[in-house]
Structures are given as C-alpha cells and as structure tokens.
C-alpha cells in the first residue's frame, strides 16, 4: 500500500526552502515502505520492564490479526486495519509487525508522535531491522526534528546498507542540516543502488554532487 504522503506532508514542513523537493523524496520513501518487516522475532525489548509472556493461543491470534490488518491496509481499509493491529498489540504487546504497521497508518494520518511511539517500540523489539528506523526518521523529518532523523538514518544505513530508500532519505536529512558532503555521499549511494531514483538524483544535484566524484557517505 502506498501511503498518501504528498497530502500527509502538505503544510507539515516549515523549511524555508524547497518543500516540493522534500515532499517528492519522502513520497518515494514512504511509498516503498512495506507492511511486512520480513523475518522478525517477537523478543521482548531488553530495556523494557519484564512482562508476562502471552499464552501461545494469544500469540497465534495476534499474528492472525496482524495478517488481516496487513491485507486490509494494502486495500485501503485503514480504519479496519488499525482495529486489527490494535487487537494484535493488545493480545501480544511484543508483536513488532503490528506495531510497525500501525505506525505506518498513524504516519499516513499525520499523527507523527503516535507513529514515532510505535516505531520506537518496534525498533526495540527488532534492533537489526532498518524499516522501523526509516519510518521513525520520516516522522521526525515531518516534525522538523532533523538531527534525530539523521541519527536514525545513520543506524538504518548500517543495519541495511543495500536499502536505497534509507540512503536517499539520509541524504535529505543531511542536506537539511547543511552537511552537503554527507548529503552528496548518501544521495550518491542511493543512486548506485537505484539509478532511476529521481529524488536522489535531484538531491545530488542540489548539494553540488558531481558524477564520478568520490564521496564518503559517513
């Protein structure tokens, strides 16, 4: 499902610079976000207070609700999807898939702090996954918390260095911070992974990147 990011971002940024370019980058970023975190475990967050493990039947029911929610979300039934994710999380608070998916829905509704909260818990449960970090970074950018976004994108790039969406969004974050060398390195890495990424190509040009020039992304 492609979240309607262009409407989501309308009026959300007070940047004093190229808001349309930013919207284009984030649209591409979020349209690529999947409602599937891939192979994830439901291990509890090590930093959280211990909670009783849900019964096996509850875990299975939570997973079934998550699957139903993913199907509903992909077909645009966001209200019903969120209800399924709510139920999954109630049954199994360690269900990273449901938390991540609900975060995407909140993000699509401009409820960025709620999205950040869900992505944060999902990230604690799946620390080696780039997707919750990318999702949280996009909401941080929407709230103009650019340094927090850049920190998340640094971590996401290390977790999944082949993720072109991460590099493109990281380029945007560092461009907004005025760190053009890092931005060029990130946009360049995005283009090496996704040569047709127009948002990354435009960003690379904006920060003065030159084809063939060697840039360090970090």
Q: What is the CATH number of the domain that holds 92?
A: 1.25.40.10
Each residue's pLDDT tens digit, 3-53: 333 233 323 322 333 444 445 444 444 444 555 665 443 444 444 444 555
Query: Is there a domain that residue 62 lies in?
Result: yes
Query: Is there a domain that residue 39 lies in?
Result: no
Total length of the chain = 218
Contact 162, 193 (CB under 8 A): yes
Query: Is there a domain that residue 127 lies in?
Result: yes
Q: What pLDDT, on the 0 to 100 scale, is given for residue 38?
A: 52
Structure tokens at 1: 């499902």
Q: What pLDDT, on the 0 to 100 scale, is given for residue 35?
A: 56
pLDDT reading at 148 higher than 70: yes
Residue 179, domain extent: 5-34+52-206
Which CA distances in Å does 64 have to 82, 138, 180? Answer: 14, 28, 46
> How high does pLDDT run on average in the chain?
82
Whole-angstrom Cα distance, residue 19 to residue 3?
A: 18
pLDDT reading at 131 higher than 50: yes
Dihedral angle over CA of 43, 67, 93, 107, nearest 10: 110
User: What is this structure's pTM?
Assistant: 0.78
Query: Is there a domain that residue 46 lies in?
Result: no
Q: What pLDDT, on the 0 to 100 scale, is given for residue 211?
A: 87
Each residue's pLDDT tens digit, 46-88: 444 445 556 667 889 999 999 999 999 999 999 999 999 999 9
Domain count, the chain: 1
Q: What pLDDT, on the 0 to 100 scale, is given for residue 19?
A: 43
Q: What pLDDT, on the 0 to 100 scale, is given for residue 10?
A: 29
Query: Is there a domain that residue 186 lies in?
Result: yes
pLDDT reading at 147 higher than 70: yes
How confident is residue 214, by pLDDT bands cut at 50, 70 and 90?
A: confident
Query: Is there a domain that residue 211 lies in?
Result: no
Alpha helices (H) in 144-197, listed in sequence order: 146-159, 164-176, 180-193
Query: Is there a domain that residue 119 lies in?
Result: yes
Q: DSSP secondary-structure letter at 45?
A: P
Structure tokens at 33: 């976000």
Query: Is there a domain that residue 177 lies in?
Result: yes
């Amino acid at each position: 499902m492609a979240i309607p990011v262009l409407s989501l971002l309308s009026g959300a940024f007070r940047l004093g610079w190229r808001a349309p370019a930013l919207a284009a980058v984030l649209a591409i970023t979020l349209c690529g976000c999947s409602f599937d975190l891939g192979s994830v475990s439901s291990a509890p967050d090590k930093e959280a207070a211990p909670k009783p493990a849900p019964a096996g039947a509850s875990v299975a029911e939570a997973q079934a609700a998550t699957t139903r929610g993913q199907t509903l979300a992909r077909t645009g039934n966001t209200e019903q999807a969120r209800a399924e994710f709510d139920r999954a999380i109630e049954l199994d608070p360690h269900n990273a898939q449901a938390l991540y998916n609900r975060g995407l829905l909140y993000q699509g509704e401009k409820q960025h702090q709620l999205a950040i909260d869900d992505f944060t818990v999902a990230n604690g449960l799946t620390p080696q996954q780039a997707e919750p970090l990318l999702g949280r970074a996009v909401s941080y950018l929407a709230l103009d918390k650019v340094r927090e976004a850049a920190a998340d994108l640094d971590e996401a790039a290390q977790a999944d260095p082949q993720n072109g969406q991460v590099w493109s969004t990281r380029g945007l974050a560092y461009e907004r911070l005025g760190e053009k060398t890092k931005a060029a390195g990130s946009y360049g890495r995005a283009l090496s992974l996704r040569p047709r990424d127009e948002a990354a190509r435009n960003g690379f040009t904006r920060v003065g990147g030159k084809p063939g020039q060697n840039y360090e992304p970090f």
